[in-house]
Structure 1
């Protein structure tokens, strides 16, 4: 299957859905878009740019484990 993204005026949504409903579920599947897609994409683009330009901060497994252990122990009480 292929996926496309449509942008349309709200007033024609019913017409579009009526047309699309004429296809079987084997032919067409309507997938609701993630409402946070654009914001998530922006954040990932910023992260990727930092990786590419060398300004991203990376952590070893041991460093992450230490931070997690400290956080867990702080909130256990």
Structure 2
């Protein structure tokens, strides 16, 4: 299957859904988009730009383990 993203004015949503309902479930599946899609995309674009520019911060597994242990110990009490 292929996927497309539609943007439309709210007042035509009923007409669009009526048209789409004429197709069988084998032909068309309506998937609700993640409401946080735009925010997640923005965050990923920023992270990708940092990777491409070489400014991203990387950690070894040992460094992550130390960071996690310190964070956990702060909130244990």
What is the TM-score with the length of structure 1 in the denominator?
0.93
User: Which residue of the partner structure matches residue 19 of structure 2?
Assistant: 19
Give the deviation of 1:49 after TM superposition.
0.8
TM alignment of 1:57-68, pairs within 5 A: 57-68=57-68
Give the deviation of 1:10 after TM superposition.
1.0
Moved over 6 A (4+): none
* Counterparts of 1:24 and 1:40, CA distance in 2: 32
Structure 1 residues without counterparts, runs of 5 or longer: none
Aligned residues: 77
Structure 2 residues without counterparts, runs of 5 or longer: none
